[in-house]
Structure 1
């Protein structure tokens, strides 16, 4: 494993043509637990094609799922880097959506490494992706933070200080999220086939008791809950969401979300009662469209 910050930051952006269909959107919603109580609420806005609205966080898997002709290898998105998948953790995610995502569509995605921070024993790699439609209108911008163990100590910038602060008052909204035992197996069909989420032996080698849930699954479930509890079930009103990934979630565990209204945004945290209240998503921010 090696990181050459100068080469990675100077590398030509990776360009990809993305296509997705209703099937991809339906699968994404199901992988976040939509329709899990189908006998009482089948949630047709997420599970039925002629009533379908698209959760904005679908942008993070668009063009990678069941309709994709080929899923790009994870490392192909990281020009200038050679990384061991055993040493990488998804540390944080920021998504800003410029307009509603259609259930059938295509986009041109440009990806580049925009920052590499030196955290001493690790490096924090920031990958920025911009998606445009055929008229060159911006659809979304995603910023992914990757924690690369053993890659720090190169004398680089340690990164900005954290400015997020938990409000010193009761949350405005609280809700629970129930993950499912098979959820990681289902979510990986969106395109992230990392064996950490399915292979018990691989997970053990990475230091986990069993395969863990994708961080982006918890992220998407939080976004779905925000749409239901803050935006009256209207997905198009969610304009952006960001969070740092803190503690892994095992499929089947429950999550507890706390949301505070703060100026023109909402702040949130998600914890896991089944893991002693460990913080799962921290420094969370929700933006309206």
Structure 2
């Protein structure tokens, strides 16, 4: 049965409140592998040690969210065929290291690529500080609905991400090692999909072992970009957008290739080094100079 476009577009979501602690902030950073190489490195300790704790802005993707939201039968979506295709993050204010936040959701648009090609769903989540009412972050989640094409919707008009420069080599390349137990740590920040922890579930999905969460290696790339472009000052990050193009396995080495575009604007791509496979593409990072 095809999805009901009108029903999805008009769906009203209840805001979600989420109280998190400094422990959650440190656990998120540990889930990105922060401190794994050198637990005495001051540039890492500030994210995992309460003495002078700072929150990474990418942590916003884990707060006041509902990972299984689109699995609700009311949507009519074939959730088992859904893939997280793209993630965007606009930072409006630095994320507090603890507090209560509220997430507000909306479905922006759904594009029909055809019965055999699936559909593309665009969703926005705004994150507010419950104590002040301040807008902290705006996030975009693009879902590829592989089993839901052919519902009769429009096929054109979807936003086009910016490709990385093809005419020159990257200006920076940063190597990141993913710990083998990384998915088991990252899942404790709220995404308990067994695809990332259960070998039997991973095998059913066609993988030889559990894969790393897309938002985990997204956060890893963001951490590398903050260190390289922002002088390791997370408050300078303004925008972080990417497209997920291939799965990552815990334990792999990732290479973040960065092209300076100018004026606090950069493009990036993430490659699984051992397999020479692009796992994130069309990356865009904007930051305060």
Alpha-carbon deviation of 1:124? 1.3
2:126 alignment partner in structure 1: 130
Structure 2 residue corresponding to 1:116, chosen from 110, 129, 135: 110
> In 2 relative to 1, CA 233–161 (structure 1 residues): closer, same or farther, beyond 3 Å?
closer
Question: Higher mean Cα deviation, 162-171 or 233-242?
Answer: 162-171
Which residue is equivalent to 1:189?
Answer: 188
Residues 89 and 146 in structure 1, CA contact (< 8 A), matched pair in contact too: yes
78 and 101 in structure 1: CA distance in 2 versus 1, 3 angstrom threshold: farther
Q: RMSD of aligned C-alpha atoms? A: 2.0
Q: Displacement of 1:40 after TM fit?
A: 5.0
2:15 aligns to what SS in structure 1?
A: strand
Equivalent position to 1:162, from 144, 154, 160: 160
Measure the CA separation in 1 of the matches of 2:58 and 2:73.
24
Distance in 2 (alpha carbons) for counterparts of 1:57 and 1:288: 14
- Out of 57, 76, 81, the residue aligned to residue 82 of structure 1 is 76
- Superposition pairs of residues 21-32 of structure 1, within 5 angstroms: 21-32=21-32
CA separation of 1:122 and 1:219: change in aligned 2, threshold 3 A: same
C-alpha separation in 1, matches of 2:64 and 2:13: 18
User: Partners of 1:81 and 1:97 in 2: how far apart?
Assistant: 29
Tell me the secondary structure at the aligned position of residue 162 of structure 2: coil
1:92 maps to what in 2? Answer: 86
Whether the aligned pair in 2 keeps the contact of 1:96 and 1:239 (CA below 8 Å) is yes
CA contact (8 A) 1:113 1:128 kept: yes
Which whole-Å deviations, capped at 9, do the CAs of 1:195-224 have from their partners, x for residues lacking one? 111111111111212110000011000000
In structure 2, the partner of 1:18 is 18
Measure how far apart 1:147 and its partner are. 1.1
Question: What runs of 5+ residues in structure 1 fail to find an aligned partner?
Answer: 65-71
| Partner SS, residue 14 of structure 1 | coil
* Equivalent residue number for residue 105 of structure 1: 99
**Aligned residues of 2:3 and 2:151 also touching (Cα < 8 A):** no
With over 3 angstroms needed to count, the CA separation of the structure-2 counterparts of 1:91 and 1:138, relative to structure 1, is same
1:145 matched residue in structure 2: 142
Q: CA deviation at 1:288?
A: 1.1
Distance 1:243 1:190 in 2: 20
Instruction: State the TM-score, normalized to the length of structure 2.
Output: 0.91
Report whether the alignment pairs 1:220 with 2:219: yes
Q: What's the counterpart of residue 171 of structure 1?
A: 170
How far apart, in 1, do the equivalents of 2:47 and 2:69 lie? 31
CA shift, 1:78, in A, is 6.5
Partner-residue secondary structure (3-state), 2:207: coil
Gaps of 5+ in 2: none
Greater Cα offset, 23-32 or 130-139 = 130-139
* SS at structure 2 position matched to 1:27: helix
